[in-house]
């Protein structure tokens, strides 16, 4: 049932078999997967039933132009899906496999272990079982020699969906309590730091309550998950829970979106696989279409020793339209801007995998929020390898367009320089990365924090590598996988 946290009495303790922090895509999918066989479930959500921005987050810091955090990390039922565009693209086996030229690549679970849950994840999003996301790229003039550097991919795209609201019936089950306006401010440890004793929760009414459970799951996103682990330092974990080897908060990854080349002499309507599909009804009565992109082939990525990337050929300026969130550069906020588009100009936009980078990270700032918890500071760093990945994709795309009749092109993306309008999904990945051993990451292949018996993490923060695809579908698949694990072994030793 729904419980308004502001009605709870100061000092009360709530108990459950499993406590989940966050009612976004990961928390909602986990709740569905747990069903009734896992016992009593408490879901703690810092916002209300209607998602709203948390202006406190504006007081955090960013080291380079990035979206203003309150606009992309909304509080409330559905979490980040309140800003989700509905892209449901799967990762592939290559994304999870070790790549010799990328020393930190490779997941500690097999692709089959993940793929087993993709079908259920698609149904959770509202995609019918029989929906075939197939389209054909058929540019005027036919395919070119440069097309061999790419492969075509298609995938379902939903209209905007708040997955928490879509599945709010989950929180009305007899064994589930969703406590709104309830922010977890501290993870209290026991057993010399080997297990969680309770969660300390602060409500919007400024009362403090406790939550005890057999197992605890952080499903609050790639910013809040590491923030909570770092701010819950104790004698056993002086640098933050799970942070013996310094991985908590590190390896922050995005999907850089780069408007790399502007071109004339070709028509994007004849070239772009995405945005131009026909909408059909989805399983939940909403909108659904097949979209797609051109993706650098596996052979190209291997030969060039780069990350993965997809290319969209679209109307110039679409990448940074006025509906995009506000951008923050340090403490300055400004609306998205892009270079002036000439008449008939199209853009080659590259959306790439960001490779793991320990210097790219979430840290705690010296500024406290209204509950006394340090606000997160984003230090987003892109590497030379990320730059080269985008450059290669743009070069081959431009070559392909030249063979299709491109008359003029101007590069916006130059060597050694990042464009001011380089942004992201916004996708927050990698900050509690998965690894088989604690020396390499924060959680094990089942999402359990190394060294803690009953604390788990779910969401994009556990991704060891990002791939190029939007992460929401994979976040849901991982949450469903974790639910199966918790039902069979809630407190692994």
Domain ranges in the chain are 2-488
Listed in order, strand segments (DSSP E) in 22-127 are 41-44, 61-62, 66-67
CA distance 177 to 15: 10
Nearby residues of 165 by Cβ (< 8 Å), 6 or more positions away: 49, 77, 78
CA distance 309 to 352: 4
- For 332-351, write each residue's pLDDT tens digit: 777 666 556 677 788 889 99
Please give the radius of gyration of the chain, using alpha carbons only, rounded to the nearest integer: 22
What single DSSP character describes residue 125? H
CA distance 194 to 212: 15
Polymer length in residues for the chain: 493
293-302 in b/e form (b: 16+ CB < 10 A) is bbbbbeebbe
Mean pLDDT of all residues in 21-40: 95
Structural contact between residues 297 and 164, judged by C-beta atoms closer than 8 angstroms: no
Specify the pairing of strand 287-296 against strand 176-180. unpaired
| Look-up of token digits 């004793």 | 197
What pLDDT is attached to residue 336?
62
- For 292-318, write each residue's pLDDT tens digit: 889 999 999 999 999 999 998 887 777
Share of the chain above pLDDT 70, in %: 94
CA distance 96 to 110: 7
CA distance 323 to 412: 22
173 by DSSP, 3-state: which? Answer: coil
If we measure between CA atoms, which residue out of 312, 313, 261, 259 comes closest to residue 421? 259
Local confidence band at 469 (pLDDT 50, 70, 90 cut-offs): very high
Q: Residue 280 is encoded by which pair of tokens?
A: 């059909």
- For 206-262, write each residue's pLDDT tens digit: 999 999 999 999 999 999 999 999 999 999 999 999 999 999 999 999 999 999 988
Highest CATH level, class, for 2-488: alpha beta
Specify the pairing of strand 332-334 against strand 18-21. unpaired
- For 355-406, write each residue's pLDDT tens digit: 999 999 999 999 999 899 999 999 999 999 999 999 999 999 999 888 888 8
């Amino acid at each position: 049932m729904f419980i308004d946290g502001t009605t709870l009495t100061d000092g009360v303790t709530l108990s459950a078999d499993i406590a989940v922090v966050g009612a976004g895509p990961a928390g909602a999918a986990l709740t569905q997967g747990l069903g009734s066989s896992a016992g009593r479930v408490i879901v703690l959500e810092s916002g209300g039933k209607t998602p709203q921005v948390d202006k406190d987050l504006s007081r955090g810091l960013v080291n380079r132009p990035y979206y203003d955090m309150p606009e992309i990390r909304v509080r409330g039922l559905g979490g980040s899906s309140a800003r989700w565009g509905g892209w449901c693209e799967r990762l592939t086996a290559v994304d999870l496999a070790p790549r010799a030229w990328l020393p930190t690549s490779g997941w500690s679970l097999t692709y089959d272990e993940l793929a087993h849950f993709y079908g259920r994840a698609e149904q959770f999003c509202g995609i019918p079982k029989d929906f075939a996301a197939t389209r054909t790229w058929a540019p005027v003039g036919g395919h070119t020699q440069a097309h061999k550097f790419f492969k075509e991919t298609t995938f379902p795209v939903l209209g905007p969906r708040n997955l928490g609201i879509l599945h709010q019936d989950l929180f009305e089950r007899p064994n589930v309590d969703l406590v709104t306006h309830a922010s977890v401010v501290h993870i209290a440890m026991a057993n010399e730091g080997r297990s969680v004793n309770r969660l300390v929760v602060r409500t919007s009414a400024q009362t403090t309550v406790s939550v005890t459970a057999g197992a605890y799951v952080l499903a609050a996103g790639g910013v809040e998950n590491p923030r909570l682990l770092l701010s819950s330092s104790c004698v056993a974990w002086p640098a933050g829970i799970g942070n013996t080897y310094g991985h908590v908060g590190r390896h922050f990854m995005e999907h850089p979106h780069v408007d790399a080349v502007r071109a004339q002499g070709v028509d994007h309507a004849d070239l772009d696989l995405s945005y131009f599909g026909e909408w059909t009804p989805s399983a939940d009565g909403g909108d659904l279409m097949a979209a797609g992109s051109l993706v650098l082939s596996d052979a190209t990525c291997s030969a060039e020793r780069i990350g993965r990337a997809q290319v969209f050929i679209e109307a110039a300026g679409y990448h940074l339209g006025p509906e995009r969130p506000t951008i923050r550069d340090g403490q300055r906020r400004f609306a998205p801007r892009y270079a002036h588009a000439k008449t008939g100009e199209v853009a080659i936009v590259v959306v790439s995998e960001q490779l793991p980078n320990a210097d790219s990270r979430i840290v705690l700032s010296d500024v406290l929020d209204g509950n006394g918890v340090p606000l997160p500071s984003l230090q987003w760093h892109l590497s030379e390898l990320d730059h080269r990945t985008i450059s290669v994709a743009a070069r081959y795309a431009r070559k392909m367009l030249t063979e299709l009749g491109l008359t003029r092109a101007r590069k916006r993306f130059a060597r050694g320089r990042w464009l001011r309008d380089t942004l992201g999904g916004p996708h927050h990945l990698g900050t509690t990365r998965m690894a088989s051993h604690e020396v390499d990451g924060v959680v094990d292949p089942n999402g359990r924090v190394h060294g803690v018996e009953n604390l788990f993490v779910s969401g994009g923060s556990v991704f060891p590598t990002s791939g190029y695809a939007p992460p929401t579908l994979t976040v849901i698949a991982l949450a469903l996988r974790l639910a199966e694990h918790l039902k069979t072994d809630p407190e692994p030793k």
